[in-house]
Chain A
Amino acid sequence: GESVGLHLPTLSVQEGDNSIINCAYSNSASDYFIWYKQESGKGPQFIIDIRSNMDKRQGQRVTVLLNKTVKHLSLQIAATQPGDSAVYFCATGSQAGTALIFGKGTTLSVSS
């Protein structure tokens, strides 16, 4: 069946470092990709998304890269701050799908 997986369940970085969180997906029909951040006790919050007609998209301190050839998605966070500590999820979807499919989540810990 369709799956979305993260390469690392945890990532620890120092404040000011750049963070990279990776995600792999299995469904070649996926055409929409999204990253969420979930802080303790809260619901997932949108970070950035990208559609399959692009391979890179930038936001404020965040960049999403999409490699459709190898079905790989990554989230880059520049100058990581303690407030970035959270669980990060990737999710994929398609025009023909019913809802987003989520990966397990990577816990990012930022130490100062």
Chain B
Amino acid sequence: ETGVTQTPRHLVMGMTNKKSLKCEQHLGHNAMYWYKQSAKKPLELMFVYSLEERVENNSVPSRFSPECPNSSHLFLHLHTLQPEDSALYLCASSQMWGGAGELFFGEGSRLTVL
């Protein structure tokens, strides 16, 4: 298994659907992150979890709902999304929470909202 695995790799959903993105890390890390990557914009931090506790919610709309049941798994629940939410959603993990160490990224989930 690679370090950080994301499923599904591609997702198309209507604005009224409910779906979830899943992330699993096999690195024994204590922190997990969701980033949004849109064209021509920097990676935007959405959520940070440290030891299953949310430590950052970067002004993300409530239609995005994260869940971290344990230190290896992270979910992003999606409901009533807008077309502008179409983007690549990247999950990452790091050994410790904070901005002083390498993030290990998954391959991303490409989301298209119709």
Contacts and interface: CB of A to CB of B under 8 A. Distances in A.
Interface on chain A toward B: helix, strand, loop, or mixed SS?
A: loop
B100 A31 contact: yes
Interface stretch (A44-52, A56-64, A67-75): A44-52
A96 B97 CA distance: 10
Range for the number of chain B residues in contact with chain A? 20 to 34
Interface residues of A, number: 29
Given A32-B99, A104-B41, A99 B33 contact: yes
Contacts of B104: 46
Given A42-B107, A43-B90, A89-B43, A101 B99 contact: yes
A49 B102 CA distance: 8
A99 B48 contact: yes
B45 interface: yes
A94 B105 contact: no
B43 A95 contact: no
Contacts of A49: 102
Interface of A: 4, 9, 31-32, 34, 36, 41-46, 49, 89, 91-105
